[in-house]
Amino acid sequence: MSRKMLIGGELSHQAEAEEHYDFDLFVIGAGSGGVRASRFSASHGAKVGICELPFDPISSEVIGGIGGTCVIRGCVPKKILVYGATFGPELQDARSFGWDVNEKVDFDWKKLLQKKTDEIVRLNGIYKRLLTNSGVKMYEGEGKIVGPHEVEVTQLDGTKVCYSAKHILIATGSRAVIPDIPGKELGITSDEALSLEEFPKRVVVLGGGYIAVEFASIWNGMGAKVDLCFRRELPLRGFDDEMRAVVSRNLEGRGITLHPTTNLTELIKTENGIKVITDHGEELLADAVLFATGRAPNSKRLNLKAVGVEVDKHGSVKVDNYSRTTVPSIWAVGDVTNRMNLTPVALMEGSYFANTVFGGEPTKPDYNYVPYAVFCIPPLSVVGLSEEEAVEKAKGDILVYTSSFNPMKNTISGRQEKTVMKLVVDGNTQKVIGASMCGPDAPEIMQGIAVALKCGATKQQFDSTVGIHPSAAEEFVTMRTISRKIEVGSKLKTNL
C-alpha cells in the first residue's frame, strides 16, 4: 500500500513499508491545533498517535489536558466568566426597562466556578471521544523528541516508552510568563484566575493585552475594585489606536482605575492583603494580583536542539510556509510557533498540515483577514488592517469612515457608553481593507464582516447592502461620509 505524502517539498509515493514506523504521524500536544491535525490526518488514512499531559484546570510543565489551553484554561472558561460578569451591569440597566431589581443582589463566585469546571470537564471528554472516533491512539504523558522519527513518552508512573513515526507534529502551545520582581510568588496568572477559591474584592492587573483587559472587565463586572496597570499610554498595543482609546474610555467609564505608563516593582504580603508597589511609588492593596504579561512557547522540554529543530530567542519553533521545521520529518502548528496565536488559526494550521502531508494538497495557511476579538465589556472586534497599518502599507490614499453612537439600549438605561465602528478603505481600489467595532455583540457582527473582506468587498458593495433595522450592525452599511482622508506619504492624524 502506498500513500501520497509531501517529501522534500514534492509529492511522492511513500517508499518505505509502513511497518518501518509505529505511526504515520505522532503528535505531541492535544490542544486545538494538535487534535485538529490528528483527526484530519486520520481521515486521510494516516495511522496517528498523540500524547498529552494529564488534565487539570491549572497547567504546569507536567500538567495539561486534552483540549488544551483554549478549552481548559483559556477562551472557553474565560468567556463563561465574561457572561457571568455581564449580568452585573445588565441588572443595573434592567431597572430602566421596568424590572424591579432589589438593591442588594448577591453573586456566588463558587457556584459560577463549579459550572465552569463542569463545562470544561465535559469538553475534555468530548475531545477524547473525537480522537477515539477518528481512530487516533491517545497516550497520557509527556512527549519528547529523541530523533527525527522517534518520540519518547514519559508515562504517569515514570516509565518511558518510545514510538517511531514517519512524521512528528509539535503542538504544545504556550504558557503564561511571570515577571521577575520581588514577591512574584504572590501573584497569579490567568490559569489560577480561572480557578480562585475565593472571589477577590480588590484586584491589581498588570498588563495591557487581551488577557489583562478581559479579566479587569470580568472582576469589575462582578463587583471587585480593579486597578489596571500597563506600560503604554493605552492598552491593547498593536490594535487600531482610535479603538484602543475607545476601550480605555469604556474601562474607566465602568469603574476600572487605569494606571498607564506603569509597571510593578514589588509585591509584599501584609495582614490586609498584598501590597503592590509601582514604579511611580504608588502603593495599592489587593486580594489578588494578576500577571497578564505575555506568554511563552512550550518548547523547552521537547529536546529540540538535540535533534536539530531550530527555535528563535523566545523559544518559538521556526517553521516554513507549510509548518515544517528545520528537520524535514518534524512539523509544528499553533502557539508554539508564535505566528498568529489564536485558536481558530491553530485549527487552520492543523487542517492545512494534514492536507499538505497526507491529503496530497500542499496548502499554506492564509493569515490575511483573520478576525479576532477582545472580550472586554463591551467587546472589541476587528478584521484586516488597522488605520495605522493601512497608512504604513498604503500605495495610495486611505479613506476612513467612522460612526460613534449611543446604542438604543443605552438611550433607555441611561448608560453613557458609545458604540464605535470603523471602516478603512483603499482609495485606489475602493476595497474595504479593515473593519473594527467596539460595542455590544461586536464579535458576532465582525464574523460576518470578515467574510466580506475575505471576498474583497468594496465600499460601494457595503453601501449597496440593505441594513437590518433597528440594529447596530446596519451602521456598517450606512456610513456614507468620509471621516478623514490620509493622502499617500502623509502622517496619520487621529482624534485620540
State percent of the chain over pLDDT 70. 95
The residue among 183, 263, 175 whose CA lies nearest residue 227 is 263
Q: Please check if 335 is assigned to a binding site.
A: yes
Q: Give the sheet arrangement for strand 283-286, strand by strand.
A: 264-270, 273-278, 283-286
Q: Please check if 189 is assigned to a binding site.
A: no
**What confidence tens digit (pLDDT) does each residue in 163-202 have?**
999 999 999 999 999 999 999 999 999 999 999 999 999 9
Instruction: Summarize the confidence of residues 36-44 as an average pLDDT.
Output: 98
pLDDT over 60 at 495, yes or no = no
Q: How far apart are CA 357 and CA 351, in angstroms?
A: 10
pLDDT over 50 at 214, yes or no = yes
**What confidence tens digit (pLDDT) does each residue in 363-413 have?**
999 999 999 999 999 999 999 999 999 999 988 999 999 999 999 999 999
Structure-block grid coordinates of residue 117 = 469546571
Phi, psi (rounded to 5 degrees) for 201: -80, -20
pLDDT over 60 at 1, yes or no = no
pLDDT over 50 at 496, yes or no = no
Q: Please check if 143 is assigned to a binding site.
A: yes
pLDDT over 60 at 93, yes or no = yes
Could you give the C-alpha distances from 400 to 17, 425, 486, in angstroms and in order? 59, 6, 8
Structure-block grid coordinates of residue 175 = 504558557
Instruction: Summarize the confidence of residues 12-40 as an average pLDDT.
Output: 84
CB-CB contact of 357 with 6 (8 Å): yes
Identical fold between 23-176+296-359 and 179-292:
yes
Q: How many CB atoms lie within 10 A of CB 95?
A: 13
Q: Please check if 374 is assigned to a binding site.
A: no
Could you give the C-alpha distances from 108 to 115, 135, 204, 235, in angstroms and in order? 11, 42, 21, 30
Q: What is the CATH number of domain 179-292?
A: 3.50.50.60
- What average pLDDT does the chain have? 94
Q: Residue 2's pLDDT is what? A: 36
Confidence of residue 69 (pLDDT cuts 50, 70, 90): very high
User: How many residues are present in the chain?
Assistant: 496
Structure-block grid coordinates of residue 171 = 503542538
Q: Residue 5's pLDDT is what? A: 45
Question: Catalytic: which of 20, 149, 259, 469?
Answer: 469
Q: Please check if 173 is assigned to a binding site.
A: yes
Q: What is the CATH number of domain 378-486?
A: 3.30.390.30
CB-CB contact of 262 with 278 (8 Å): yes
Number of alpha carbons in the 13 Å side-chain half-sphere of residue 107: 23
For residue 230, the one-letter residue type is F
Q: Residue 159's pLDDT is what? A: 97
Q: Catalytic annotation on 314?
A: no
Identify any residues that bridge with 49 across adjacent strands, giving them in sequence order: 26, 137
Superfamily of domain 23-176+296-359: FAD/NAD(P)-binding domain (3.50.50.60)
Q: Please check if 456 is assigned to a binding site.
A: no
State percent of the chain over pLDDT 90. 91
Q: Residue 488's pLDDT is what? A: 87
pLDDT over 80 at 470, yes or no = yes
Phi, psi (rounded to 5 degrees) for 114: -65, -40
Confidence of residue 105 (pLDDT cuts 50, 70, 90): confident
pLDDT over 60 at 47, yes or no = yes
The residue among 469, 467, 432, 466 whose CA lies nearest residue 451 is 432
Q: How far apart are CA 143 and CA 298, in angstroms?
A: 12
Q: How far apart are CA 201 and CA 91, in angstroms?
A: 19
pLDDT over 50 at 449, yes or no = yes
Instruction: Summarize the confidence of residues 239-266 as an average pLDDT.
Output: 98
Confidence of residue 494 (pLDDT cuts 50, 70, 90): low
pLDDT over 60 at 16, yes or no = no
Q: Residue 156's pLDDT is what? A: 94
Rounded (5°) CA angle 63-67-73: 65
Q: Residue 493's pLDDT is what? A: 58
Q: Residue 492's pLDDT is what? A: 65
**What confidence tens digit (pLDDT) does each residue in 471-486 have?**
999 999 999 999 999 9
Domain locations in the chain as residue ranges: 23-176+296-359, 179-292, 378-486
Q: Residue 200's pLDDT is what? A: 98
- Asked whether the whole model's pTM tops 0.85, one would answer yes
Q: Please check if 211 is assigned to a binding site.
A: yes
Q: Name, in order, each residue with C-beta under 8 angstroms of 88's C-beta and a sequence gap of 6 or more.
A: 107, 221, 222, 223
Q: Which residue has the cell 463566585?
A: 109
Q: Please check if 252 is assigned to a binding site.
A: no
Q: Residue 304's pLDDT is what? A: 98
**What confidence tens digit (pLDDT) does each residue in 121-145 have?**
999 999 999 999 999 999 999 999 9
Cα-based torsion angle of the residue sequence 354, 358, 363, 364 in order, rounded to the nearest 10 degrees: 50
Instruction: Summarize the confidence of residues 444-450 as an average pLDDT.
Output: 98
Q: Which residue has the cell 467609564?
A: 253
Phi, psi (rounded to 5 degrees) for 179: -65, 145
Q: Please check if 213 is assigned to a binding site.
A: yes
Q: Please check if 172 is assigned to a binding site.
A: yes
pLDDT over 90 at 3, yes or no = no
Q: Please check if 203 is assigned to a binding site.
A: no
